[in-house]
Amino acid sequence: MTRYIDVNDLSYLVSQKGLQTCITEMAEYIRADYLRWQDFEKCPRLANHSPDGVIELMPVSDASLYAFKYVNGHPKNTLAGMLTVMAFGALGDVDTGKPVLLAEMTLTTAIRTAATSALVARYLARNNSRSMALIGNGSQSEFQALAFHAMLGINEIRLFDIDAKATAKLAANLKAFPAIKVILAGSVAEAVKGADIVTTVTADKAYATILSDDMIEPGMHLNAVGGDCPGKTELDRRIVERARVIVEYEPQSRIEGEIQHMPPDSPVTELWQVINGQRPGRENARQVTLFDSVGFAIEDYSALRYVLDVAKALDVGSELELVPDLADPKDLFARLAQPPRAQQKKRA
């Protein structure tokens, strides 16, 4: 049988643990897996692009588990009342190929993206960072705000979005966390001025300049989350040229990240090298650091592993007969001769 976690199950799991606890604990799973980077068989994600969006498959495996995530990105979906990003994923046993877990990953991806952002900021942001500008106030924004509050002690967040309703939504949701001071900014420049950390998480599939070079002050840490596919960026190229750039997996980031419009030999450092101490994160207090985040499959592996462990501990989810359970494993045909169990239930 395969454990199945749907949206309701995941929501219950988070309600029992607490969202900020889930973010913090998932970040530790992600850190642990980046520490064993060499154990994984990796590749850039497989993407099918269309004029209005992209659908991607993100696979990765180690000697024990194979993981994949199906995820889309369609910014125009909100006009039709649909999410921009929707996802599901699975874990399989490498020794047998048996599916171990089938799970929703829309909520889970939001948690793991924020957990990764805050984890990386621990290595790149200045230790005394307390304020963050949050540019783009859509579905990911609350998760980013709470991750940075829980993991770095960020207690002031300046909000800006070209959609005032999105900002109002975010501000209303953050009222449940009175330790966070929320400031509504009138422009990107106003939000960014004097901030220790700047997070950009916009959705438009375009070469955009959300942050211009003149906005960036010495010592800032930039968490660029929105640029995550070919033809989609958020930063002025001059920022990328002068920042210390950290990426998850260089072959993928060269295709999808802010560095997609940089020369192929432009300097970058992979995240695993920073986490294991092979390379430094921030080098000095005045350095501008940039996490060119596109999302990588190891983070999904970690997230699915975390969800499975917590689901087992809390007895969350259900069991699916996703593949046939046969008396004779060489007689698959016989399974079709049995009355379908769903039909049996209906007749009963």
d(CA 178, CA 168) in angstroms, rounded, equals: 16
Task: Just list the catalytic residues.
Answer: 228
Alpha carbon 12 to its chain centroid, in Å, reads 20
Q: Supply 10's token pair.
A: 């995941």
Structural tokens at position 158: 């300046």
What contacts 26, CB < 8 A, 6 or more positions away?
A: 111, 112, 115, 302, 303, 306
Query: What separation in angstroms does the CA of 172 have from each of 83, 101, 165, 166, 227?
Result: 20, 35, 10, 10, 26
Number of alpha carbons in the 13 Å side-chain half-sphere of residue 214: 2
Q: What is the DSSP string of 107-121?
A: HHHHHHHHHHHHHHH
Task: For residues 200 and 136, give the distance between their C-alpha atoms in angstroms, rounded to a whole number.
Answer: 6
Token pair listed for 98: 């048996």
Q: Which residues contact 168 (CB under 8 A, 6 or more apart)?
A: none
Q: What beta strand segments (E) does 237-323 contain?
A: 244-247, 269-270, 289-292, 318-320
